[in-house]
Amino acid sequence: MKIKTFKVEQWMNEFENDAVYNLGETCIDSMTLRELLELSGKNPEGFLVALADKRMTYGYIEGSPELLKGIASLYEDVRIDQVIPTHGAIGANHQVITALIEPTDNMVSVMPTYQQHYSIPESIGAEVRLLQLTPENSFLPDLEVLRNLVDEHTKMITINNPNNPSGSWIPLEIMGEIIKIAENVGAYILSDEVYRGIAEDDCYMPSIVDLYDKGISVSSMSKIFSLAGLRMGWIVSKDAGVLQACRTRRDYDTICCGSLDDLFASIALSNKDKIFERNKSILKHNREILDKWVNETKGVHYVKPVAGTTALVYYDKNIPSYDLCVRLIKEKGLLFTPGSCFELEGCVRIGYAFDSKTLKEGLDKFTEFLKEN
């Protein structure tokens, strides 16, 4: 199977370890196991010593009851048998697309998005139709364009909501229209929801599975739970055919998730309110820092992000985004992600959910660079 290189992952593989100011990171300030255990009211030393006696069997093949219950609790009315644990959201997206998409299908994907959503179906031989999100439209889907992109062979519309890299979140009225368009042609909606869960206004952020019977939600512990090292993700759907197809595929590529990952993810999920409280204040504070910097800095502009952990910042310099980002890491130790990783130019993705000090210092380094060039 031929597949294109995954631009954003390649970029991170090559440069992440050189970063002094890592604003390429998209997770909310990752937690230590100690922090997780303390926040959950457990004694870290006692807990970890007791863990030494855990027999490392495969464990629960379909996920422990605690894990499934914890994941189901992130949705309005999902049963535990509608949850499939996977190796991160990356495993979930891969499983959904490879289980459902045939070479004769077409599929609509928003752009920019996480590259799995268009490069995997393309590698299968399916036709991928891109729905471009633009800053002029606040990076929200243009419904008229979407209507014209779908037809009776459209198997799936795939979105990333909240969107990486732009930080947009599709309002309910627009989502309702997207669902009508999908329903008309009988298409699934795959919604990559790794950044869903912490809303600016504290309200519940509806998942696609709360809204559409042919909706498929993908998420994980990586971003809003600050636990990417667990490599724990999931697929949730109310569609029996989707669940069956993904489980059949899972037997071939997963067997089960790691039992330690399952255990720590279950602890985090049963303490989600405390983790969200911690992370909400990081997001709010850091969004303010970024916004102030954009407003005060000559030669940059953006669409203010409303959700997620990233923003696309446009710069007024005639330098390709890849070259700019290579110079930033080499000359200033500052890691951004080039717009070109998302097929965009004249902009960089800034991950702003790391610690505030790194964010401030990193942005100052960029100001310095802009003045020098």
Ligand X SMILES: Cc1ncc(COP(=O)(O)O)c(C=O)c1O
Question: What residues make contact with ligand X under the rule CB under 6 A?
Answer: 26, 88-90, 114, 160, 164, 192, 194, 220, 222, 228, 233
Rounded-to-5 percentages of helix, strand, coil across the chain: 45, 15, 35
In angstroms, what is the minimal distance from the CB of 3 to ligand X?
A: 16
94 or 155: whose CB is closer to ligand X? 94
Residue 73 has phi, psi (to 5 degrees) of: -70, -10
Rounded to an integer, what distance in angstroms lies between the CA atom of residue 16 and that of residue 153?
Answer: 40
In angstroms, what is the minimal distance from the CB of 373 to ligand X?
A: 29
Cα angle at 226 between 220 and 230, to 5 degrees?
A: 55
In angstroms, what is the minimal distance from the CB of 48 to ligand X?
A: 24
Residue nearest to ligand X (CB): 88
Q: Which amino acid is at 53?
A: D
Beta-carbon neighbour count of residue 213 at 10 Å? 11
**Number of residues in the chain:** 373
124 or 194: whose CB is closer to ligand X? 194
6 or 60: whose CB is closer to ligand X? 6
89 or 170: whose CB is closer to ligand X? 89
DSSP string for 188-201: EEEEE-TTTT--TT
11 or 366: whose CB is closer to ligand X? 11
In angstroms, what is the minimal distance from the CB of 75 to ligand X?
A: 17
120 or 194: whose CB is closer to ligand X? 194
Rounded to an integer, what distance in angstroms lies between the CA atom of residue 220 and that of residue 123?
Answer: 24
Output the CA–CA distances (angstroms, integers) from residue 334 to 79, 126, 140, 317, in the order listed: 44, 38, 29, 17
93 or 365: whose CB is closer to ligand X? 93
100 or 110: whose CB is closer to ligand X? 110
Class of residue 145 by CB neighbours under 10 A (exposed 0-12, middle 13-18, buried 19+): middle
Contact criterion met (CB below 8 Å) for 111 and 205: no
In angstroms, what is the minimal distance from the CB of 364 to ligand X?
A: 25
In angstroms, what is the minimal distance from the CB of 60 to ligand X?
A: 20
263 or 265: whose CB is closer to ligand X? 265
Rounded to an integer, what distance in angstroms lies between the CA atom of residue 364 and that of residue 30?
Answer: 23
Rounded to an integer, what distance in angstroms lies between the CA atom of residue 304 and that of residue 295?
Answer: 10
Rounded to an integer, what distance in angstroms lies between the CA atom of residue 83 and that of residue 63?
Answer: 9
Which residues, listed in sequence order, are joined to residue 349 by a DSSP beta bridge? 312, 337
Which residues, listed in sequence order, are joined to residue 313 by a DSSP beta bridge? 302, 348
In angstroms, what is the minimal distance from the CB of 316 to ligand X?
A: 27
In angstroms, what is the minimal distance from the CB of 144 to ligand X?
A: 25
In angstroms, what is the minimal distance from the CB of 146 to ligand X?
A: 19
Structural element, H or E, at residue 69: helix 65-72
